[in-house]
Structure 1
Amino acid sequence: MPAPPRPALVEADTPITALRGVGPALGNALAARGLVSVQDLWLHLPRSYEDRTRLTAIAALQPGVSVQVEGRVEAVERAFRYRPQLKVALTDATGTLLLRFFHFRAQQAAQFAIGARVRAYGTPRLGPQGLEIVHPSYRLLGEHGHDLSETLDPVYPAIEGVGPASLRRLIMQALDHLPEEAALELLPEDWLRPLGLPTLRSALLTLHRPPPDADLAALQAGRHPAQRRLALEELLAHQLGLRRQRLALQAEGALPLRGDETLVARLLHRLPFTLTAAQQRVYAQLREDLCRPRPMLRLVQGDVGSGKTVVAALAALLAVADGRQVALMAPTELLAEQHYHTLHGWLAPLGVRLCWLAGKVTGKARAQALQDVASGAAQVVVGTHALMQDGVEFHDLALAIIDEQHRFGVHQRLALRDKGRRGVPHQLVMTATPIPRTLAMSAYADLDVSAIDELPPGRTPVTTIALAVERRPELIERIRLACAQGRQVYWVCTLIDDSDEVQAQAAQSTFEALQAALPGVQIGLVHGRMKPAEKQATMRAFKDGALALLVATTVIEVGVDVPNASLMVIENAERLGLAQLHQLRGRVGRGSTASTCVLLYQGPLSALARQRLDTLRQTNDGFAIAEKDLELRGPGELLGTRQTGLASFRMADLGRDVDLLPHVHALADRLLREAPEQAERIVARWVGGAARYAAA
């Protein structure tokens, strides 16, 4: 029998609508998910696989292991005790399995006639009557049965408005148009071979049509060579995209600062402390960057309380000494306002004029602030993302300082570059979330990275202990004693309202319970749903010492500096990631008094939660914690979901694929040096015109 004719050649950038069966409605549904070309379908990769190539005897089933079974319907029952459900007993020669459905139609129930042959796929679990599968996928078979699948079945990420079967059919059709290896491959063969990775064409075919003998465990874990091949190219595309953005920004040039340190010397003389060696080193790096005729693009990372703000203030004074302006942007009004007060205390005595600009500054005050910024009367402007809005015009912006970078998307940071009238402003980005070096090189490939890796003298290490929730009464007694001694306490809750689904004490009920348990103690409450003015008033009362105990949600993760607070209780600590727990702990230990952080947990602890709490108890080193967080949870906790689109990788996972990063960096260097056109094509394939790397 002659082979079927090969479909007419379709290019990678051919619109999906050119494929058979794709009308306007289907085309729009796919486009809404970012799938517009045939290549996008090639790269819409399975999220998991189902093994329908074999049957498993019912007696051999194990809870939690997905399988395909086949048997005859022995009994059917429709129950309505609490909610409608359909129970089907399926029997083979080895035993009986229950199929349970909570959502079904009468027509569906009627299909399960006694004696009918059924093939079902799903994950068994232990139920009241033994093993059962809830909502399996199934098909009714005739007397002659039905052939088993010849390949593992890919399961694709769902797309609203597109059924799984339609999507799979469409991807298979797109794969029929996959070009030959030479036309598709963009990476040098001599470089792939030592890594033992397949070509792109081979990898795509393996992932979309895995053979029965494929290593299912490796595929499910994302460690199969075919997946590693795609992860490598995707990481490379993002690396190249960020580097290209950096080169484009630097090509635009910036006005160098003269490096006049008169104001810097005056501030250093006035400060009640001496800079640490790490602060001095990082300031020297900033000064060197600012004196160059290209924009500084530097990330300064340092632990909570390591003194990043004073280093930023010194850099700001270099711009002010040149008669130019500085903008400092923070993610919340609370944090921005604290920066404003801190900088005002340091800089105003030197004659520097500061301005505060946030969403709540309205009416005449806003008009005056905008005028001061536009005329240059305001030399240092502090605010939230309101600084990036169209109505804000700077007279001569030389330096943009962005605090807590992981709270902003790349676009928000880049939007500030258009605010400079004489070249691109220099950019200083700060984060109190230490990031492992390999991760920083990938997430922030458009930035130079500096670390303030020592704490100022006088900061007392925080003692961390973990307590089961049953010991709450003795903890409350300890709080009573601390407040009686004039100390202040944080009690952090992870939810605002009580929830039936999650066993977590809500801030409101905790606040009421502590008021009842601690009569005479002034207690405040802060959570994200309060009006900003109300929230700030409570925070200020705590900062000023009018409140002894502050019950709060994680809104206080970054923000207030209260040196008198020496005890921190984090409720349901097992529900938070290491980075967030470390950030919260950093709210205490800011004075000279010995401080304690209590991790209150609800047992039993999972192995992962226990590792997290143990790590917190053993070290106060933010960089060590960041490495452990990367190992335990991957990069999401460290970078935030909006950072540079990293959360939306199609195949790569920075935590899992961290060992590929050195190869990615080396290849990026080589491609930019030897084959820049090839580099452009790789970025276009994975990142597109995005959008996310375009200069905002």
Structure 2
Amino acid sequence: MPRVARPAPALAAVGEAPLTTLPGCGPKVAEKLAARGLLTLQDLWLQLPRQYEDRTRVTPIRLLQPGVAAQVEGRVEAVERGFRWRPLLRVAVGDESHATLVLRFFHFRAAQVSQFVPGTRLRCYGTPRPGQHGLEIVHPSYRVLDDADDAELGSSLDPVYPAIEGLGPASLRRLIGLALDRLPAAESLELLPADLRAALNLPSLRDALLTVHRPPADADVAALLAGRHPAQRRLALEELLAHHLSLRRQRLAQQAHAAPPLRGLALARQLRDRLPFALTGAQQRVFAEILADLAKPSPMLRLVQGDVGSGKTVVAALAAMLAVESGKQAALMAPTELLAEQHLNNLRGWLEPLGVRVAWLAGKVTGKARRDVLAAVASGDAQVVVGTHALMQEGVAFRDLALAIVDEQHRFGVHQRLALRDKGAAASPDAPGSVPHQLVMTATPIPRTLAMAAYADLDVSAIDELPPGRTPVQTVALSGERRPELVERIRTACAEGRQAYWVCTLIDDSDEVVAQAAQGTFEQLSAQLPSVRVGLVHGRMKPAEKQATMRAFKDGAIDLLVATTVIEVGVDVPNASLMVVENAERLGLAQLHQLRGRVGRGSAASSCVLLYQPPLSAMARERLATMRETNDGFVIAEKDLELRGPGELLGTRQTGLAGFRVADLARDADLLPQVHELGERLLVDAPDVAARIVARWVGGAVRYAGA
């Protein structure tokens, strides 16, 4: 391995100096910075610009492009001050290109209005948007220029930092500048091997920080704005490495615990033989991987990802049988009562004929029923426990939890998943201090690059094969103007004995978003289709109402279910063959794919209609085209990562990925192989350097980085 530099302790300690050592950073300012996790000089060094403003040139007004920030210079031509609805100030500015731009202000003072005398020369910066009278900039930054004032242009890009409440942008820039003035020499900061930096043509950390905070006049502006500058790549590499190391260290710490080996296969074989279907090759392969993990005396940490309907629940049930046969308990936790109850029904149908006792624990289980369940869980009589986040509540005590299964894991906060694991750690009477095996499932296929970065603490398995007989769902996109045709299509389908979903993206009508609300759609469709039994489900209904409606739909007592995206996960109605998604342009690819997966679960040919409200944005157009072109969840996930980035795919709270300071997984995926190789070497050969890198970038969030 290349030699790893170890920073001199005295110089490295400079970065750990409190911010109150900076001039002008008293206790009140320090408190505001601390609220954002900024405590030391190093924290300010790593408080990187979120974008740059290019004030190095003036753009003629006639060359402005909507949505592209620019700097313009001109003279005030007219001023209009309105009071009818709310204070409003419009300032028309013209330049030598004989074009006019409107500056619009909602918040202003009388002294500010007095500056805008016709003929006054202004220099303004902002992002132009189409307005009532051509292009306009809302609340631009500006300065008044004297006619004799040459007002030199900036020589470099101006950094724009994330806003901090109670601290103005100028004050924050000044403090970051003071912190940068105290940067130590390059060799004392450097933690990455020189050979690696040379191979990737990356600068030192010191040079990278100075370039990103203070881009020189000859900097590649386009590369900086795109996040592809070598200085940004240098910082992204170390940040990705820190994230990887934090997860791998957590994995190693977890594996240092004992876990009960689970080896008995008799119950699992009985379950497999009684199933009314044969396991697919992918299910058999993934179960074999789980078997190998569970046989070890160290805890399994495995993520099973698979498309909608690929059969993850069966694999989880087979794994649970190994725990039961060993005289221990398994728990399955799902994010919603709807999904948890479906798991409960499946598991009871499969396991109770084998004599396995399945318990149900959710928020609606109260009174004596709850006390009975808690007693059964505590005594071990409840061998498999299914529930929601209620499983993690303080009063729930397992006798001997050996396997914790978490479904749709990205919907839980990391604290919740840790709480379930810790229940098992406290439970085993035979092996105090041991932890349960963990099986995490998701029906949202995760791109390989994202899995490498987000789940470095987990082994990843993929059930990438659908059961035989599943016909691909035909997907079409229709403008909302063709809604009447669709209503007739539903009338025909329901008359033929089939069922349909109509999904809306809002519950109540909104003036701000052009979308059909579920309540209004339910009323409209009920009136338009008097012969069709229409039901309604949305997230604000009481759980009992929701469950009753879903059960009626599943039992065939409802023909058409109008719903919000609450039915995205876990509802299995084989007779439903038509899915309509209203305002599909408002949803991400992963969510659209999940919704489409609710149909095509039976033998009938199924369709998904994506109703959209024109005009479509470029991104919405790409999403709908992708949905029409493929049913492959893994292809869709790669496209979703490209379009939306990692934070939206996985959830910000759970992973911190969306909170990367500079790294972008879609953009920087090519760095991941080096990150993995270097990370594994550092953990073996230089664990102290690994710890420093993690502390620098992840800090106190380490415990939750990927639990």
Q: TM-score category by the smaller chain? A: over 0.9
What pairs with 1:593-604 in structure 2 (closer than 5 Å)? 593-604=604-615
Q: Does 1:163 align with 2:168?
A: yes
Q: How far apart, in 2, do the equivalents of 1:520 and 1:469 lie?
A: 23
Give 1:186's match in structure 2, choosing from 191, 208, 221. 191
Give 2:154's match in structure 1, choosing from 113, 133, 149. 149
2:12 and 2:189 in contact (8 A); partners too? no
Aligned to 1:326: 330
Q: Deviations over 1:526-570 (max 9, x none)?
A: 111111111111111111111111000001010211111111111
1:49 and 1:216 in contact (8 A); partners too? no
Farther-moved stretch of structure 1 (57-66 vs 47-56): 57-66
Q: Secondary structure at the match of 1:49?
A: strand
Q: Does 1:361 align with 2:372?
A: no
How many aligned positions are there?
Answer: 688
Q: How far apart, in 2, do the equivalents of 1:644 and 1:670 lie?
A: 24
Q: Deviations over 1:414-465 (max 9, x none)?
A: 2222222231100000111111222111111100011111111122221112
**Unmatched runs of 5 consecutive residues or more in structure 1:** 1-7
2:552 and 2:558 in contact (8 A); partners too? yes
- Structure 1 counterpart of 2:190, one-letter code: E
Q: Does 1:671 align with 2:671?
A: no
Q: Deviations over 1:591-644 (max 9, x none)?
A: 111111111112222232222222212221111211222222222343223332
Q: Cα distance 1:241–1:81, how it changes in 2: closer, same or farther (>3 A)?
A: same
Aligned to 1:490: 501
Aligned to 1:393: 397
What pairs with 1:143-542 in structure 2 (closer than 5 Å)? 143-145=147-149, 146-257=151-262, 259-420=263-424, 421=428, 422=431, 423-542=434-553
1:645 and 1:692 in contact (8 A); partners too? no
- Structure 2 counterpart of 1:601, one-letter code: Y
Q: Cα distance 1:54–1:119, how it changes in 2: closer, same or farther (>3 A)?
A: same
1:494 and 1:504 in contact (8 A); partners too? yes
Aligned to 1:5: none
Q: How far apart, in 2, do the equivalents of 1:644 and 1:326 lie?
A: 25
Q: How far apart, in 1, do the equivalents of 2:134 and 2:572 lie?
A: 56
Farther-moved stretch of structure 1 (591-600 vs 141-150): 141-150
Aligned to 1:15: 18
Q: How far apart, in 2, do the equivalents of 1:401 and 1:63 lie?
A: 49
Q: Cα distance 1:99–1:364, how it changes in 2: closer, same or farther (>3 A)?
A: same
Q: How far apart, in 2, do the equivalents of 1:132 and 1:485 lie?
A: 55
Give 1:37's match in structure 2, choosing from 40, 46, 50. 40
1:634 and 1:656 in contact (8 A); partners too? no
Aligned to 2:664: 653
Q: How far apart, in 2, do the equivalents of 1:89 and 1:119 lie?
A: 13
Aligned to 1:3: none
2:449 and 2:665 in contact (8 A); partners too? no
Farther-moved stretch of structure 1 (133-142 vs 621-630): 133-142
**TM-score, L = length of structure 2:** 0.94
Aligned-pair distance for 1:649? 1.0
Q: How far apart, in 2, do the equivalents of 1:375 and 1:59 lie?
A: 78
Q: Cα distance 1:392–1:193, how it changes in 2: closer, same or farther (>3 A)?
A: same
Farther-moved stretch of structure 1 (580-589 vs 457-466): 457-466
**TM-score, L = length of structure 1:** 0.95
- Structure 1 counterpart of 2:46, one-letter code: L
- Structure 1 counterpart of 2:121, one-letter code: R
Farther-moved stretch of structure 1 (630-639 vs 239-248): 630-639
Q: Deviations over 1:370-411 (max 9, x none)?
A: 111111111001101111122211100100000011112333
Farther-moved stretch of structure 1 (660-669 vs 69-78): 69-78
Farther-moved stretch of structure 1 (379-388 vs 634-643): 634-643
1:324 and 1:397 in contact (8 A); partners too? yes
**Unmatched runs of 5 consecutive residues or more in structure 2:** 1-10
2:656 and 2:705 in contact (8 A); partners too? no
Aligned-pair distance for 1:645? 1.3
Q: How far apart, in 1, do the equivalents of 2:129 and 2:471 lie?
A: 50
Give 1:101's match in structure 2, choosing from 101, 105, 122. 105
Q: Deviations over 1:339-373 (max 9, x none)?
A: 11110010011110111111111111111111111
Aligned-pair distance for 1:106? 1.1
Q: Cα distance 1:98–1:632, how it changes in 2: closer, same or farther (>3 A)?
A: closer
Q: Secondary structure at the match of 1:685?
A: helix
Give 2:30's match in structure 1, choosing from 27, 31, 37. 27
2:655 and 2:706 in contact (8 A); partners too? no
Q: Cα distance 1:538–1:131, how it changes in 2: closer, same or farther (>3 A)?
A: closer
